[in-house]
Amino acid sequence: MKNVFNRSCLALVIGLSLAGNAFATNGYFTHGTGPKNKSMAGAGIALPEDAIDVVNNPAVATEVGDQFVLGAALFSPIRKYSTSESMANGQCSPGMGCAITIGPNNITSDEEYFIIPHIAKSWQLENGNALAVSFYGRGGMNTTWKGGTATFDPDGPGPAPIGTYPGTYGAGIFGGDGTAGVNLSQAFLDLTWAKKMNDQFSLGIAGIVVAQWFEAQGVASFAPLTETYAAGAMQGAPVMPEHLSNNGHDWAFGYGLKVGLHWKPTDRVSFGIMYQSKIWMSEFDKYADLFAEQGDMDIPSDFKVGVTFKATEAVDLSFDIEHIWYSDVASVNNPIALLFNCPTAGVGGMELSNCLGGDNGGGFGWDDMTVYKVGLRYTAGEDWTWRAGYSYGEQPIPVSEMSFNILAPGVMEHHLTAGFTLERTKGRQFNMAFMYAPSVDQTGPQNFDPSQTVTFEMYQWEIEASYSWRF
């Protein structure tokens, strides 16, 4: 058993290394899994086709036969941010604290191309039972902002003067060029069992093992807003946090559960339902002074429901809805305004738990997200199948949460997709998917200097391919 566990962890680590750094498209969730599902914009949890489809609905393991699927995506998110001129320019005001003025900057993230793999195997057993194993990269966030400046008073209303320092947040005050950004990658291993209850109805359950990989750079200038620093300051001896920024990569591991249902009451209509629990992760110890709850970064719960209609013998139409509970995770959902309750924020707050790293520390302020998806499949003879799709979800970042989200500007809303399957040899399929997410921009006040505005701009494209074998 120990050897099995070790091999599973090794597979996750290797796969995560292959997956590299990614920024997914519905917040930090991907818009789909596998090229067939992605080419329909993530619609089709009621339309089982491949072993990798068990990721979207574990119940369909009974419907996909004995199959092996191997594939990968080339993903490219293009991200920019800019800040306006400031009237505060780092000044301190009585009762208002000290401004951190960002720039004005106009920067494009350096990281633009990522590889995201997936592997799945399904087995049909006796008495309507089925098993599946799937490994996949599902999302994350990544930015690398080089250049720019920030202007602030490094010790508040004290002896040190206001200065302008390199980097988006001025972290170059501690040396280096102040390069800022985060890198969160995720790798998932699903172990699935499903049971066909009768000719119409299947149930499935999957245990999920997850590995996360994280690094933060260029945020050391927020040290006075950490619980570690503030707790020391209240005793007259501030303590510089050691687990805030530029500590290299850190790992976290966790587990969760996924359940699904597939119901086909007629030959022309089928329904699918999937619920994924919150995934409880170990803490990022190297970044315990950054994330709420001392470095906790759980993965939020997720719910999908869908229906597929066979409009003709050649055409299938799928309609899906997905809801993501970003509110499950304090470090993602907590608003940045909580930081102004921190005793060292300079505005009269006395709540240590609201400082960075605290039990209820300030975070990215993301809202829950609901995504609506529609997809079409057209079977054009024995060799070719064509697909297309569209999805929309209001992005999760409110205009009140701009400053920290320079690190994670997940503002995509629309996804346009297409793809095909070529099957020259029975049971051997080559699949392709294409995605384009058109540009979205958002402008709002800079939280640490409200006389400024911050603007995000982002668009994405992706190409994914896979090959599958049926046995």
At 18 the pLDDT is 46
At 23 the pLDDT is 56
Residue of 205, 310, 318, 189 lying closest to 261 (CA atoms):
205
| C-beta separation of 160 from 221 below 8 A | no
Name the percent of the chain lying above pLDDT 90: 85
Say which CATH superfamily domain 2-470 falls into.
Answer: Outer membrane protein transport protein (OMPP1/FadL/TodX) (2.40.160.60)
| β-pair partners for 275 | 259, 303
Q: How far apart are CA 110 and CA 150, in angstroms?
A: 19
Coil, strand, or helix at residue 61? helix
Q: In a structure prediction context, what are the per-residue pLDDT tens digits for the chain, which is 471 residues long?
A: 444 444 444 454 445 444 444 556 899 999 999 999 999 999 999 999 999 999 999 999 999 999 999 999 999 999 999 999 999 999 988 777 889 999 999 999 987 788 889 999 999 999 999 999 999 987 677 899 999 999 999 887 778 889 999 999 999 998 888 999 999 999 999 999 999 999 999 999 999 999 999 999 999 999 999 999 999 999 999 999 999 999 999 999 999 999 999 999 999 999 999 999 999 999 999 999 999 999 999 999 999 999 999 999 999 999 999 999 999 999 999 999 999 999 999 888 999 999 999 999 999 999 999 999 999 999 998 899 999 999 999 999 999 999 999 998 999 999 999 999 999 999 999 999 999 999 999 999 999 999 999 999 999 999 999 999 998
| C-beta separation of 79 from 428 below 8 A | no
Angle at 465 between CA 459 and CA 470, to 5 degrees: 145
Q: What is the DSSP letter of 198?
A: S
| β-pair partners for 376 | 317, 388
Tokens of 346: 């300079």
Q: Is 232 exposed, middle or buried (0-12, 13-18, 19+ CB in 10 A)?
A: middle
Residue type, 8: S
Q: From the centroid of its chain, how far is CA 352? A: 28
Q: How far apart are CA 185 and CA 268, in angstroms?
A: 39
Residue with tokens 């320079």: 406
Query: HSE (CB half, 13 Å, CA atoms) of 311?
Result: 11
At 17 the pLDDT is 45
Q: How far apart are CA 153 and CA 162, in angstroms?
A: 4
Q: How far apart are CA 151 and CA 165, in angstroms?
A: 6
Which value, to the nearest 10 degrees, does the dihedral of the CA atoms of residues 329, 332, 336, 340 take?
40
pTM: 0.93
Q: Which parts of 195-275 fold into alpha helices (H)?
A: 227-234
Q: Which parts of 247-358 fold into alpha helices (H)?
A: 292-295, 330-333
Residue type, 443: T
C-alpha dist (Å) from residue 428 to 40, 325, 347, 351: 21, 38, 65, 61
| C-beta separation of 59 from 202 below 8 A | yes
At 5 the pLDDT is 43
